[in-house]
């Protein structure tokens, strides 16, 4: 069975296109509020002043010091409902992958009853969310194009995967990437690079995913191994193409292991992928070598010994989280993955991190 997948229907790309947000939203205003969920690092910055909020709109800074939790989504939705914005005209997420995921989840939970935890899984959302716009200020996660919003709940880290999760509109303005801290820029960019490597080297690969993955990889190489004046433009498109590549294939071992790192240790997705990827030479030999070249070029050093302080019970839990992501391992190793990927082999990889 081939998947008949949905993609984001409206995309605007170009330097300064953020200035057109006001016009884009004007078509969607029917008297309700527009809710702008903005990464709180932008409080008191020039970008915050450029948010085209009108009277009655809500600008709500969101905190992403921790990766998004289901409880935080429930809290934001309750705040909006108590504030009389139970059916806003739109939800606009402005920030990195975590903020984009928060905005998607809030949009969905405004129209679907219950808690965000009720919808972690595949195609559990029954009603379209509120109209939503995604505006990345960091490039690499592919959250702008994905049909998921990755959330950590009390029991699991798992996305709300559905066609309704997709943004109705994305605004890709490379100017918004200026001023990102270098390490953050690198980790998030490597998330994209790793999407490409895992997609292109996976057993699920097909010509659709290869076409997007190869272009994304080419752009990543230009950004991280060469010097270009328009590298922010390139990285923004690499992120989009990388997201399109995995949308029709899958990620692999690195993402499975990084989910364990973030669930048990609270390590953010981008850096978690980097910590895991450098140990995965046996799976992605050429990719890991090139990744290390990129690290050297940008003077990046990664933390070591991150799993050393884990209790035995937590290590066991982390192994279970990683191995629970069956499609990722199947993409990496084929249908026989369970025989190839024992708990001990996962443990050995984690112990190296
Ligand atoms: Fe990722």
- Percent helix, percent strand, percent coil in the chain, to nearest 5: 50, 10, 40
Per DSSP, what are the bridge partners of residue 91? Answer: 35, 132
In the predicted model, what is the mean pLDDT of residues 271-276? 98
300 with 329, same domain: the answer is yes
Query: pLDDT > 70: what percent of the chain?
Result: 100
CB-CB contact of 117 with 154 (8 Å): yes
Residue 208's pLDDT is what? 97
159 with 202, same domain: the answer is no
In the predicted model, what is the mean pLDDT of residues 22-33? 96
CA 268 to ligand 1 center in whole angstroms: 10
Residue 131 has pLDDT above 80, yes or no: yes
- Can you list the pairs that 286-295 forms with residues at least 24 positions away whose Cβ atoms lie under 8 Å? 287/193, 287/194, 287/197, 287/201, 290/221, 290/225, 291/190, 291/193, 291/194, 293/225, 294/186, 294/190, 294/193, 294/224, 294/225, 295/186
CA 263 to ligand 1 center in whole angstroms: 14
CA 3 to ligand 1 center in whole angstroms: 21
Domain end marker among 152, 177, 202: 177
CA 195 to ligand 1 center in whole angstroms: 6
CA 236 to ligand 1 center in whole angstroms: 15
CA 196 to ligand 1 center in whole angstroms: 10
Per DSSP, what are the bridge partners of residue 161? Answer: 122
CA 242 to ligand 1 center in whole angstroms: 9
| Reported confidence tier of residue 170, pLDDT bands at 50, 70, 90 | very high
Residue 261's pLDDT is what? 96
Residue 244's pLDDT is what? 97
Domain end marker among 121, 154, 177: 177
Tokens encoding 321 = 């989280």
Look at the alpha carbons of 57, 62, 252, 181 in this order and tell me if their dihedral is positive or negative: positive
First to last CA, the chain: 38
CB-CB contact of 73 with 109 (8 Å): yes
214 with 228, same domain: the answer is yes
CA R_g for the chain: 20
CB-CB contact of 213 with 196 (8 Å): yes
Residue 184's pLDDT is what? 96
CA 121 to ligand 1 center in whole angstroms: 17
173 with 197, same domain: the answer is no
CA 140 to ligand 1 center in whole angstroms: 8
Q: Express each pLDDT in 137-161 by its tens digit.
A: 999 999 999 999 999 988 888 899 9
CATH of the domain at 253: 1.20.1090.10
* Among the ranges given (11-25, 76-90, 297-311), the one the predictor scored with the smallest mean pLDDT: 76-90
CA 56 to ligand 1 center in whole angstroms: 36
CA 191 to ligand 1 center in whole angstroms: 5
CA 114 to ligand 1 center in whole angstroms: 27
CA 91 to ligand 1 center in whole angstroms: 23
- Residue 4 is assigned to a structural domain of this protein: no
What's the mean per-residue pLDDT of the chain?
96
Residue 83's pLDDT is what? 84
* Among the ranges given (89-93, 119-123, 171-175), the one the predictor scored with the smallest mean pLDDT: 119-123
H-helix segments, 110-206: 182-200
H-helix segments, 97-230: 97-109, 182-200, 207-225
Q: Express each pLDDT in 304-350 by its tens digit.
A: 999 999 999 999 999 999 999 999 999 999 999 999 999 999 999 99
Q: Can you tell me which residue has the tokens 């170009």?
A: 14
CA 255 to ligand 1 center in whole angstroms: 6
**Residues around the ion ligand 1 (C-beta < 5 A):** 191
CA 216 to ligand 1 center in whole angstroms: 14
Residue 86 has pLDDT above 80, yes or no: no
CATH of the domain at 74: 3.40.50.1970
Q: Dihedral, CA atoms, 101, 199, 297, 224, nearest 10 degrees? A: -70
Residue 85 has pLDDT above 80, yes or no: no
23 with 158, same domain: the answer is yes
Query: pLDDT > 90: what percent of the chain?
Result: 95
Domain hosting 24: range is 10-177
**Model confidence, pTM:** 0.96
Domain end marker among 148, 177, 206: 177
In the predicted model, what is the mean pLDDT of residues 258-284? 96
CA 126 to ligand 1 center in whole angstroms: 26
8-35 burial string, b = 16+ CB within 10 Å, else e? beeebeeeebbeebeebbeeeeeebbbb
CA 246 to ligand 1 center in whole angstroms: 9
- Using CA atoms, how far residue 163 sits from 1, 146, 337, in Å, is 17, 9, 28
Q: Express each pLDDT in 196-218 by its tens digit.
A: 999 999 999 999 999 999 999 99
């Amino acid at each position: 069975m081939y998947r008949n997948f949905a993609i984001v229907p409206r995309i605007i790309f170009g330097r300064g296109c953020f200035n057109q947000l006001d016009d884009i939203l004007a078509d969607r205003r029917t008297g309700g509020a527009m809710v702008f969920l903005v990464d709180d690092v932008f409080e008191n910055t020039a970008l915050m002043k450029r948010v085209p909020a009108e009277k009655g709109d809500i600008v709500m800074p969101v905190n992403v010091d921790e990766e998004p939790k289901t409880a935080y989504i429930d809290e934001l939705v309750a705040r909006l409902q108590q504030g009389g914005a139970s059916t806003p005209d739109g939800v606009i997420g402005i920030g990195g992958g975590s903020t984009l995921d928060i905005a998607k989840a809030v949009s969905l939970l405004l129209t679907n009853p219950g808690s965000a935890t009720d919808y972690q899984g595949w195609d559990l959302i029954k009603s379209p969310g509120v109209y939503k716009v995604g505006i990345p200020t960091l490039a690499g996660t592919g959250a702008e194009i994905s049909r998921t919003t990755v959330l950590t709940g009390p029991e699991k880290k798992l996305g709300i995967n559905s066609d309704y999760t997709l943004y109705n509109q994305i605004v890709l303005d490379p100017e918004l990437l200026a001023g990102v801290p270098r390490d953050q820029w690198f980790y998030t960019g490597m998330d994209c690079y790793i999407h490409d490597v895992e997609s292109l080297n996976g057993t699920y690969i097909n010509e659709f995913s290869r076409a997007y993955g190869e272009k994304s990889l080419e752009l990543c190489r230009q950004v991280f191994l060469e010097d270009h004046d328009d590298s922010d433009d390139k990285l923004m498109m690499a992120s989009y193409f990388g997201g399109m590549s995995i949308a029709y294939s899958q990620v692999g071992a690195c993402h499975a292991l990084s989910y364990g790192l973030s669930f048990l240790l609270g390590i953010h997705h981008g850096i978690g992928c980097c910590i895991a990827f450098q140990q995965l030479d046996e799976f992605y030999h050429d990719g890991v070598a090139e990744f290390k070249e990129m690290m050297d070029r940008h003077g990046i050093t990664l933390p070591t010994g991150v799993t050393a302080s884990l209790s035995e019970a937590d290590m066991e839990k982390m192994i279970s989280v990683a191995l629970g992501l069956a499609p990722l391992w199947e993409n990496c190793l084929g249908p026989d993955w369970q025989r190839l990927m024992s708990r001990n082999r996962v443990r050995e990889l984690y112990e190296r991190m």
